[in-house]
Structure formats: structure tokens, C-alpha cells
Structure 1
Amino acid sequence: MQQNSFAYPAMLDLKNKKCVIIGGGKVAVRKALPLIEAGADLTVIAPAVDPQLATLEKTGLLQVKLRAYAADDLSDAFVTVAATDDFAVNRKIAAAAPCLCNVVTEPALGNFSVPSTVKNGALTFTLSTGGMPALTRVLAQDLKKYYGPDFAEFNEFLQQLRQELQTLEITPEKRTAFWRQTLTQSVIDLLHAGQLDQAKESITDAVNRFRLESQNSPR
């Protein structure tokens, strides 16, 4: 079996980072939307662009340069996407890119790939099968069903409690130990069983006990 060369998963902070897409078609639109959502400073370069890209420029979400790719377009980019339908141009981009580069037509020429993403509130699941798009699509649909709306609500609930516990005068190690002891498979099983309120109640009880113990412990 051929090993997938994209073996190191990562989540990137692209806020205000310069990102460049070379190409202006439907693929460029698909690549642009998550970059915009991530807060990137996005420029699209192509002789002509899809109407949706033109609309996004009018709303200030990206910049469009209506011209062909030039060698210096990538000089200060953080991420580049080669999204033209011209294999030769995409290869030139991949060879010249001094940054993270995703190549649509020949992914192996780039140095990163974009996995399938399933979002549920603040939860983000990424999925890659190493080259089986049909299986990736089915598994993504399964993930979306398996981790439904209750998980997004529960995650938001936990974030609020986490902020409250950070105000307690205890060490980070004790907070970490508490969460590891409290967030167990049994809590996740409650969520899968549709018992969100019971899951919240069990965590709330544990937090209240922990808060009381922390307040009564000697300084």
C-alpha cells in the first residue's frame, strides 16, 4: 500500500495571514470560502473569476487581481493554492512557492492537503482516508450523525465551566487532573443516548464538589 505523504495533521491560525489562490473557477470558490472563514487576508489571481468570487470582493472579503499568474505573486504569502485548470501553471506555482502550497490538479506536488471537515458548533472534525474521496464523504456523513447537536451544546457548556474554574486559586495541574477524572467515556455515552441534561448534571455536580474542595483546602 502506498503511504500517504501528508502524514502530519495540523490546525492553522490564518487570521490576517496573506493567502493567495491562483485560479478563478468553481474550485477557487470552494478553496476561498474556508480561508475567508479562517480570517485570511485573501487574494485571488486569475484572468477571469467566478461571479461568486466577484461578489466576495465587493463585500471586502477578498481581493481579486484580474491577470495571469506572475512569479512574484507568492513572495510574501503564508498559504498558496494552485487552483487553475492548467497543469503546467500549477506545477510552476508548486515549484516556486516558498510557503505552504496546495495543488488542486496534482496534490502530491504540494506540501499540504486539506482534509474533509465536519463542523458542529465549535467542534471541528477533520478526516482523511489518504486518497479515497468516496469513503471520506461517507465517513464524514457518519461523523455528522454520530456527533450531533448535543455534542456542540455540551462543548459550549464545558467551555463556560472551564472559564469559571480558571478563576479558582489552584494550580493548572490540578485543573487538568480534574477534567481528566471527570470527562469520562460514561459522560460521552450519555450524550450518545440523548441524555444531554444528565451529562450536564454530572459535570455540574463534579465541578461544584471540586470548587468546594478547592476553597476549603489549605493555601
Structure 2
Amino acid sequence: MDHLPVFAAVKGRPVLVIGGGEIAARKIAFLLRAGAKVQVVAKALNAEVQQLADEQKLTWFATAFDESQLDSVFLVIAATNDRALNRQVFEAANARHRLVNVVDDQPLCSFIFPSIVDRSPILVAISSGGNAPVLARLLREKIEALLPGNLGRMAQVAGEWRERIKAFRTTTDARRRFWEAAFRGRFASLMAAGNEQAAQEVLAQEMAEPGSTQGEIILVGAGPGDAGLLTLRGLQVIQQADVVFYDHLVSDEVLELVRRDADKICVGKRAGRHAVAQHDTNQMLIAEARAGKTVVRLKGGDPFIFGRGGEELQAAAAAGVPFQVVPGVTAASGATAYAGIPLTHREFAQSVTFVTGHYKADSVPFDWSHLAQSRQTLAIYMGTMKAAEISEQLIQHGRDKATPVAVISRGTRRDQQVNTGTLEQLENLAKNAPMPALLVVGEVVQLHDALAWFQHSSGTDAFDGAVVNLA
């Protein structure tokens, strides 16, 4: 280890910056965020630094460097294009045992600036020791995505409660278990939801009555398959879950992102073959939450679009179990985008309708005359088994049999297939389509050939991962 990671308290301390250009401005902004008293030595200041000086946020100390300027400062930063001056600053600072950083010149640094993830008071610093700063920045971006924006405020609230918790949890081990449960459980979820008062009430309840706080159910949309389409909030939640109930539409790539020690339980349903009855799923979710666990119900696409998420939360509400919802990218949006089919387009479709081909036998039948109107797009979920009926009814109610259609199988996934043709060919297109599949009806489908970008090729085999056009 070439550098000792240290977080320096510069608030209210004098820091000398030699240089007044763009690079110096970046360092000055960084120092001001940390509360440093910035003193600048430079022949001239660029507009940004000059404005800070005019606003008295820093002091333009001198126009020329003198070694005596180092005698009363805490840190030194040289940010000039004059290598000889930079070396002079470095050597003078070293002689006075002042920590010094010469920007972009690693040998002339006794300390380095890491890439920082700022969730004050939580700070994460990443450094390559000056060897690969771009790599450090890329790692910072990955970590940024994992840390909720509310993390800093959550840490502040925890700090406000530390002494009270010590009075009730008299051993270090007991306090550790308390905070681990809080940061993984309902307290953290409520903070993320912006409900700070309720979050503090949870801390108070758990402090007074250990084990009395029940868990919660978080309904999460996993998107249509590509793990990159999982939302940032969805990723954060599944990495905090104690138990995850998932369905068959959730891809293996998304499941790989679930917290390693979480229990994963499949409660998926397939047409004509229900592995777990909906009522049983509801009861399992409620039981695990009542046991104090953070329960994630992970559903393909968006849980409120033909995902029965509303039914599951109705059961949770009736049982008095708290819940949250994290929306997901629905299949109609994700799969069509990956297939190069805009759902709306000024020249072809002024509206889009989401329809399910799987419905209760006693439900109200479709308004086929409305669905058959031209210049609109139909995105039909779970419609392959009723493709013949859909085609027949749409044509019978006035939709042109030559209307372009597409069957998108396993949309956004590596083995995505897009089969295109006309409305009268829909039954044949859907007959052997791999599941899950989305049916798209409308003039926008003709844009597919020009706009397809994801694994697109012009093939003749309907099921080799290529695109097939039967028109």
C-alpha cells in the first residue's frame, strides 16, 4: 500500500492553492465544499476563480509564490503549467513538512486526491495511487449507482440517535445488531421514501420493544429481461432484501444481482400451469414481513401493468403490512425499443393501447371496434395463445388485414427474436414463438427494418435469433 487513506478535516483551516486557471478552479471548488479557507497565489484568475474571490469565498493572497507563504497553511496544492514552479512548491512544502499535491504530477505529491462518492457525512474514496485516475473515476460511477442519495441524511439521523440507543443497548454487540437491522430494514426504507418522521418512530419502537417492528413488502419491477434496464432504486432494494419472491419472467441476469445471502423463492405462474396459487403467494409475503424481514416481490416488467401487483398489495394493506412500490420498465416499452419499433410516431400512430390476451372468463370482453381503429398501436401481452382470435376480431371489426404486426419474443434478452408480417399472418407468427412474447399491431411496425439496432439481422429461419419478415 503506497498511500495511507486518511480523511483530513480542512474545515476552517488555511489551504494554499498556487494557480488561478481551470485546473485550480476544480480543486478550489472541492476544497470549498469541505469548508477550507482557500488562499490563492496566481498572476491572474480565470472568470470562475475571480467570481469566487469577488464573492469573498476565497482570498487572492498574492500574485507570485514565496516560500514563506507555506509557513501558516495546512495543505498546499500547485496547479500551474510551470513545472519549475511546481517543483519549487513541492520541495519547499516538503522542507516544512506540509502535505503537498502537484496536480497531474504523481512524483511531486505527498498526498493525492481520490475519486469521491459524497453522501455527507458518508464519504467513499477510491484511489489508484495516481496510476489510473480514469479507472478510479469509472469505479466511482459504479459505486455512485449503488448508494442511495438519502444515505447521508440517514447517517445524520443515526448519529442523532446514537446516545439514546447506547442507553438501551449497553453492549457493543447489541448496538451493532440494532443498527444492522435498522439499516437493512424498515427504518432505511422509510428514509429512502422521504418519510423521516415515520423512520424515527420505527427507531423509537425498536429501541423500546426489541423485535416488535415488523418488516415490509417492496414490490419491484425487474424490467423485461436485460439487467441493465433494472432501475437504480430496484437494484438498491434487491441488494437489501432478506427474502425475494420472484416469477418466471425475471431473467437470470437480474436474479444474479440479488443480495447473495437472501432467500430466493420462485412463485412464478405460467399459462395453464400455476406453480403457486396467488392466494398462497400473498400469504407467504405477509408471513415473511410479519417476521420482521424485508420482503421483495420481484416481478418481470412493471408490477402494475398486467402483473397483479395491485392484488398483492391489496392483501398486504388488508393485513396491515407496510409496503412500497418500485416501478419497472414494462415489456411494451422495453421490448419494442430493442426491436426498433416506436410505440407512437407522428406519421403512423397517435396513441398506444396496452392489452392483455390473458383475462378472466367472466371479465368484460374487449371493445374490438375501439381496438380495431387505425393509426394506433396495440401492444398485446400474453396474447400468443389467442393470436388467431385477436387477428380475426380485429379484421372483422375493420382493421386492415395488411396492417403490419410483430411478435417480439424474449425482448431485450440476448436471444431476442422479432418476427414481422401482417395482421392476417399473426396466428402463424405467434404459433411457435418462444415465451415470453409481445404482440405489436400497427403501422409503426414497418419502421422496424430501419430502426432495429439490437441483435438485428435479416434471416429466413424463424427461430434462430434472427428477424423474419413474412410480409
> Common fold, TM-score beyond 0.5?
yes
Q: Any unmatched runs of 5+ in structure 1?
A: 211-219
- The CA deviation string for residues 148-172 of structure 1, in whole angstroms up to 9 with x for no partner, is 1243343233223224336x3x7xx
Q: Say yes or no: does 1:77 pair with 2:73.
A: yes
Are 2:190 and 1:197 aligned? yes
1:1-219 aligned at under 5 Å gives the runs 5=2, 7-97=3-93, 98=96, 99-130=98-129, 131-165=131-165, 168=167, 174=170, 176-184=172-180, 196-197=189-190, 200=199, 203-209=203-209
SS at match of 1:154: helix
Q: Secondary structure at the match of 1:89?
A: helix
Pair member with larger Rg: 2
Counterpart code for 1:101: V
Instruction: Specify which structure has the higher proportion of strand.
Output: 2
CA distance in 2, matches of 1:196, 1:96: 51
Q: CA deviation at 1:111?
A: 0.8
Q: Which residue of 2 aligns with 1:214?
A: none
Q: Which runs of 5+ in 2 are unaligned?
A: 193-198, 211-471
- The one-letter code of the counterpart of 1:86 is D
C-alpha distance in structure 1 between counterparts of 2:153 and 2:11, whole Å: 25
Residue deviations 1:93-131 (CA, integer Å, cap 9, x gap): 000012111111412222100111111243211111232
Check the 8 A contact 2:119/2:149 in 1, yes or no.
yes
- 1:12-47 CA distances to partner (integer Å, 9 max, x unpaired)? 111221110011111111111121222222110010
Distance 1:150 1:42 in 2: 29
Q: CA offset at residue 139 of structure 1?
A: 1.1
- In structure 2, what residue type is equivalent to 1:143? I
Q: CA separation in 1, counterparts of 2:30 and 2:171?
A: 34
Structure 1 residue 133: deviation in Å? Answer: 1.9
Higher RCO, 1 vs 2 (CA within 8 Å, ≥6 residues apart)? 1
Q: Do the aligned residues in 2 keep the contact of 1:44 with 1:65 (CA within 8 Å)?
A: yes
CA-CA distance at 1:50 after TM superposition: 1.2
Q: TM-score, normalised by structure 1?
A: 0.78
Give aligned pairs, total. Answer: 199
Question: Secondary structure at the residue paired with 2:44?
Answer: coil
CA distance in structure 2 between the partners assigned to 1:54 and 1:69 by the alignment:
18
The letter for the 1-side match of 2:127 is S
Q: Name 2:339's counterpart in structure 1.
A: none
The letter of the residue matching 1:144 is E
Cα distance between partner residues in 2 of 1:14 and 1:206 = 37
Asked if 2 retains the 8 angstrom alpha-carbon contact of 1:25 and 1:50, the reply is yes
What CA distance in whole angstroms lies between the structure 2 residues aligned with 1:156 and 1:139? 26
How many angstroms apart in 1 are the aligned matches of 2:156 and 2:104?
39
Distance 1:158 1:8 in 2: 28
* Larger CA deviation: 127-136 vs 152-161: 152-161
Please give the secondary structure, in 2, of the residue aligned with 1:112.
coil
Equivalent position amino acid for 1:20 in 2: L
The residue aligned with 2:418 is none
The Cα of 1:62 is off from its aligned counterpart by 0.7
Using a 3 Å threshold, how does the CA distance of structure 1 residues 149 and 65 change in structure 2: closer, same or farther?
A: closer
In 1, distance between residues paired with 2:74 and 2:150?
36
